[in-house]
Amino acid sequence: MNGLGNPAGCGPVSAIVLFGPPGSGKGTQAQFLREALAIPHISTGDMLREHIQAEDDLGREIKAVMAAGQLVSDALVIRMVEERIDRPDCQHGFILDGFPRTLPQAVELDGLLGPRGIGQKVIHLKVDYNKIVNRLTGRRQCPQCGTLYNIRLKPPIIPGRCDMEGARLMVRDDDKEQVIRQRLAAYDAQTKPVLDHFRSLGRLNDIEGSEASPKVLAEQIIQVVRAR
């Protein structure tokens, strides 16, 4: 598939703003979209690590904020995103993952994209939370080699044992039901104002992701992205 800015008729350059709760498969969809549309996947977490590792001006500022035990400010995140989307690989579009995370960031997004002639396609993966809990509580990990299994979707040959190491599989702390539900509640509290903002502007595209396979879901998202 061609990039979003392809002159052959795929429409103007667009930013795909991707939302989805923990366990929704958002990371998988970002990978599908990056490969299918040949555009970069921009993760705020990855950008933070990149700047800190590069020890550039932004990286030193971010490191100092984090060392003080403070959250990285909206203004700093916006600067970081602005620097990233001005790179040449974003000229045909890009996927934003983890931004905007707050309402001020969502409001500022127009100021970043509008003057650059970049449109927005906001995708929200809707997945039943009980299905997410069922999926994630089924995960098991080998403590020796780190291989992940799922007792419902990808079980080991011998129940409870790693196929390669034979070690007894463990449940990670972040795969326990109480922790998962806490993460989902935190996601709701943080993300609802942002989604409401995009919905009020008529930009939000809700896509039901509870039942569809990852490939089918990706095809649905691409149809929305390519719609004029």
- By annotation, the residues acting in catalysis are 26, 101, 139, 172, 183
Burial label, 173 (beta-carbon count in 10 A; 0-12, 13-18, 19+):
exposed
DSSP assignment letter at 72: P
Distance CA 67, CA 52 (A): 12
Cis peptide before 193 (omega within 30 of 0): no
Distance CA 205, CA 125 (A): 9
Does residue 161 sit in helix, strand or coil? Answer: strand
CA dihedral sign, ordered 155, 157, 159, 161: negative
Count of CA atoms in the C-beta half-sphere (13 A) of 42: 22
